């Protein structure tokens, strides 16, 4: 998407740039100024559009490491959120009578919508963003900025933290026992649905998942400010160091 971003920003005419992976189940979206929008932001915008502009009903299902920006938009619009694990459980949530969910998303650029194909669809995600811009007559960045005035800012990041293979079991035990704090941030709740997720004050959180193929942990961070994002990044790296 770097080439798309450069093209959009140079020509200054397109309203956005849209991209897909090889089998079109994942999306990449660039705003009119060339800014790449994270999958988390697109999922929040998709929920906003489906509920407010299309009048859809039902809940939304998201994976554990997906941004709580989705939750904030859902709360603003009166939509129930189900936190689930991976694709199989996500689609059970969409199709299950108990949840009556209308859409689901993963932070890895994946969106599914009830009544459509029972699979991730990057084409649909791109078309929904085009429709949103057309109906709002604003750029995606402007819509996100307007939403932030109502629900606050959300800053997300995923980092890979390398470890020594021999230390993996000790780190798993450490995280699995729960933590009182992440750096200077107090842990308010510990979630083990998928990896290890630590909820912090002010709707900030971090989550860790061990890679099954490489000697590293994937760390997901969400903060309400850039400053806190940087602090949590350092704290998470320090946490996984030996000693």
- Tens-place pLDDT, residues 166-224: 999 999 999 999 999 999 999 999 999 889 999 999 999 999 999 989 999 999 999 99
pTM: 0.86
Any idea which of 22-31, 104-113, 160-169 has the lowest mean pLDDT?
Answer: 104-113
Neighbour-count burial for 193-223, b at 16+ CB within 10 Å, e otherwise: ebbbbbbbeebbbbbbbbeeeeebbbbbbbb
Residue 86 sits at φ, ψ, to 5 deg, of -120, -165
Q: Can you tell me which residue has the tokens 């842990």?
A: 187
Q: Where does residue 195 fall: left (phi above 0), alpha (psi -120 to 50 degrees), or beta otherwise?
A: left
User: Across residues 86-96, what is the average pLDDT?
Assistant: 45
Sheet holding 155-162, edge to edge: 155-162, 216-223, 204-210, 196-200, 189-191
Count of helices and strands (H, E) across the chain? 8, 14
- Sign of the C-alpha dihedral computed for residues 126, 132, 138 and 141 taken in this order: negative
pLDDT at 110: 74
Q: Which helix (H) or strand (E) holds 158?
A: strand 155-162
Question: Who has greater pLDDT, 205 or 14?
Answer: 205
The domains located in the chain, with CATH, are 2-151 (3.40.120.10), 155-239 (3.30.310.50)
* Site of tokens 């309203």: 15
Q: What's the CA gap between 180 and 165, in Å, rounded?
A: 25
Q: What six digits make up the tokens of 165?
A: 């293979």
d(CA 140, CA 74): 18
**For residue 5, what are its two tokens?**
């971003």
> Is the Cβ–Cβ distance between 197 and 236 less than 8 Å?
no
Instruction: Answer yes or no: are the C-beta atoms of 103 and 112 closer than 8 Å.
Output: yes
H/E segment holding residue 5: helix 2-11
Residue 65 contacts residue 220 (beta carbons within 8 Å): yes
Question: Looking at 97-101, 156-160, 200-204, which range is the least confident one?
Answer: 97-101
Strands 16-20 vs 204-210: parallel, antiparallel or unpaired? unpaired
- Residue 39 has which token pair? 């999958």
Residue bearing tokens 């629900």: 151
pLDDT value of residue 86: 56
pLDDT at 85: 61
- 205, containing H or E segment: strand 204-210
């Amino acid at each position: 998407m770097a080439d798309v971003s450069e093209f959009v920003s140079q020509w200054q005419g397109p309203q956005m740039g849209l991209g897909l992976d090889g089998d079109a189940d994942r999306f990449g979206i660039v705003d009119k100024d060339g800014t790449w929008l994270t999958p988390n932001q697109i999922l929040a915008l998709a929920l906003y559009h489906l509920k407010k502009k299309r009048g859809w009903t039902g809940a939304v299902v998201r994976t554990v490491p997906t941004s709580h920006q989705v939750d904030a938009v859902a709360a603003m619009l009166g939509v129930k959120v189900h936190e689930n694990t991976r694709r199989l459980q996500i689609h059970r949530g969409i199709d299950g009578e108990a949840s009556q969910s209308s859409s689901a998303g993963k932070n890895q650029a994946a969106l599914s919508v009830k009544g459509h194909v029972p699979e991730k669809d990057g084409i649909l995600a791109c078309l929904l963003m085009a429709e949103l811009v057309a109906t709002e007559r604003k750029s995606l960045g402007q819509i996100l900025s307007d939403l932030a005035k109502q629900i606050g800012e959300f800053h997300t990041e995923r980092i890979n933290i390398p470890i020594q293979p021999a230390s993996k079991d000790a780190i798993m035990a450490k995280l699995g026992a729960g933590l009182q704090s992440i750096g200077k941030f107090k842990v308010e709740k510990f979630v083990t649905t998928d990896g290890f997720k630590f909820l912090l004050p002010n709707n900030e959180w971090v989550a860790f998942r061990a890679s099954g193929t490489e000697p590293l942990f994937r760390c997901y961070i969400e903060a309400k400010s850039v400053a806190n994002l940087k602090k949590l990044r350092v704290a998470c790296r320090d946490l996984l160091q030996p000693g």
